[in-house]
């Protein structure tokens, strides 16, 4: 149970500025996701919170206390790594109880703790196995269990699901959300997958080149993206960007579900591809000025490739951005 506060935190590797003046308050029991493209500094930010990386500028506070001089193990945080980082020579149970063993907790107490966590994760049968005898998903559980055994104030997870297959990812996503609800702890979750962030997080922090582009709830980010970058990053398929007529340098952003086909629309174009998903169809078109547009249509829409159609943009779905990519309200 902890709030984590970043005060204009920056990180430099040599002259390379990787994180720039990040201000952020993660509330107690909040589930926050850091998203951004590869190299945007998500992991670096998380590792600074964990204490694995020094902070070049600013400060980090946990429960209001600066942790500049607190070593990683004493911050009361637990981390789950992308590679799981399971100790290969220890059984699952030994992996999970390692921190307690180092802290000098008696064996009986350690075992009880490990069993309790294993029950919560439904992995009691795996406890005596060595890592080499475990599958990716099972290793993932051991890594989670190892973090939970310490009863941390907050969990830090760095792309924990990226090595799992799609079905397992979906299952683990639900499980993580359930764990978050049951454990009532703060969680910071790093991912480059916006769907993961949208489905799990209370709040999303979008990072771009080490800067916070926007922080807000998933729907805030979806409905009112603060910049072109966020608009393009959140939502699948991506938002359409059209050079605006009239206003110089402005861009009009519109999501596929806010484009209507063939109703006396102001745009004309040719269908170049159809993406049929069953319940709905994404219609890819090339407009007369050459820009691409994706529109959402019904699953049984009758349009075909090569059709020339008109498109209308719903007024409530218009997002305007100025020349520097900022949102214009």
Ligand X SMILES: Nc1ncnc2c1ncn2[C@@H]1O[C@H](COP(=O)(O)OP(=O)(O)OP(=O)(O)O)[C@@H](O)[C@H]1O
Q: Which of 95, 141, 140 is nearest to 122 (CA)?
A: 141
Q: Which does 83 bind (CB under 5 to 8 A by kind): ligand X, Mg ion, another protein, none?
A: another protein
Query: Whole-angstrom Cα distance, residue 203 to residue 223?
Result: 14
Only one of the segments 12-20, 23-31, 94-102, 319-327 lies at the binding site for ligand X (rule: CB under 6 A); that segment is 12-20
Choose from Mg ion, another protein, ligand X, none: what does 44 bind? Cβ within 5-8 Å by kind. ligand X
Nearer to Mg ion among residue 100 and residue 200 (C-beta): 200
Residue 11: both structure tokens together:
């990180």
The stretch near another protein (CB under 8 A) out of 11-19, 98-106, 241-249, 308-316 is 98-106
Tell whether residue 83 is a contact of ligand X (CB under 6 A): no
Q: Of Mg ion, ligand X, another protein, none, which one does residue 105 interact with (CB within 5 to 8 Å by kind)?
A: none
Residue with tokens 């902070």: 55
Question: Looking at beta carbons only, is 34 or 229 nearer to Mg ion?
Answer: 34
Of these partners, another protein, ligand X, Mg ion, none, which one is at the site of residue 38 (CB under 5 to 8 Å by kind)? ligand X
Q: Does 72 bind another protein (CB under 8 A)?
A: yes
Q: Does 68 bind another protein (CB under 8 A)?
A: no
d(CA 130, CA 319): 53
Choosing among Mg ion, another protein, ligand X, none, which partner's interface includes residue 40 (Cβ < 5 to 8 Å by kind)? ligand X
Question: 77-96: which residues touch another protein (CB under 8 A)?
Answer: 77-79, 81-83, 85, 87-89
Q: Give min distance, CB of 169 to ligand X, in A.
A: 16
Q: Which of residues 16-55 bind another protein (CB under 8 A)?
A: 47, 50, 52
Is 38 a binding residue for ligand X by CB under 6 A? The answer is yes
Provide the CA 78 distance to its chain's centre, in angstroms: 18
- Of 97 and 140, nearer to ligand X (C-beta) is 140
Q: Are 191 and 40 in contact (CB under 8 A)?
A: no
26, 33, 40, 84: which one binds ligand X (CB under 6 A): 40
What CA–CA distance (Å, rounded) separates 294 from 259?
A: 8
Binding site for Mg ion (CB under 5 A): 43
Smallest distance from the beta carbon of 192 to ligand X, in angstroms?
5
Q: How many residues bind ligand X (CB under 6 A)?
A: 12
148 and 160 Cβ atoms separated by less than 8 Å: no
Is residue 85 at the binding interface for ligand X, with CB under 6 A as the rule? no
Stretch that binds ligand X, among 37-45, 123-131, 220-228, 240-248 (CB under 6 A): 37-45
User: For binding to ligand X (CB under 6 A), which residues are involved?
Assistant: 13, 16, 18, 36, 38-44, 192
């Amino acid at each position: 149970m902890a709030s984590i506060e970043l005060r204009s935190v920056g990180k430099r590797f040599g002259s390379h500025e990787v994180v720039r003046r990040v201000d952020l308050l993660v509330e107690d029991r909040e589930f926050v996701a850091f998203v951004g493209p590869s190299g945007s500094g998500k992991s670096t930010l998380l590792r600074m919170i964990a204490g694995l990386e020094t902070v070049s500028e600013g400060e980090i506070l946990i429960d209001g206390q600066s942790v500049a001089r607190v070593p990683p193990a004493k911050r009361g945080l637990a981390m789950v790594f992308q590679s799981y980082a399971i100790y290969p020579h220890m059984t699952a149970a030994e992996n999970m109880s390692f921190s307690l063993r180092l802290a000098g907790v008696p064996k009986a107490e350690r075992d009880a703790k490990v069993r309790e966590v294993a029950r919560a994760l439904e992995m009691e049968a795996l406890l005596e196995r060595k890592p080499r005898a475990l599958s990716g998903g099972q290793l993932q559980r051991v890594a989670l269990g190892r973090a939970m055994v310490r009863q941390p104030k907050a969990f830090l997870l760095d792309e924990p699901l990226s090595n799992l297959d799609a079905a397992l990812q979906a299952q683990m996503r639900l499980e993580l959300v359930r764990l978050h609800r049951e454990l009532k702890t703060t969680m910071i979750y790093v991912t480059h997958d916006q769907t993961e962030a949208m489905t799990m997080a209370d709040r999303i922090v979008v990072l771009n080149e080490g800067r916070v582009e926007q922080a807000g709830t998933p729907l805030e980010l979806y409905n009112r993206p603060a910049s072109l970058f966020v608009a393009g990053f959140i939502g699948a398929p991506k938002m359409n960007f059209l050079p605006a007529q009239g206003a110089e340098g402005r861009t009009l952003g519109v999501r596929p579900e806010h484009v209507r086909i063939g109703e006396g629309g102001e745009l004309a174009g040719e269908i170049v591809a159809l993406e049929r998903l069953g319940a709905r169809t994404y219609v890819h078109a090339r407009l007369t000025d050459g820009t691409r547009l994706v529109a959402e249509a019904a699953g049984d829409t009758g349009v075909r490739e090569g059709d020339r159609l008109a498109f209308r943009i719903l007024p409530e779905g218009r997002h305007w951005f100025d020349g520097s990519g900022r949102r214009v309200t």
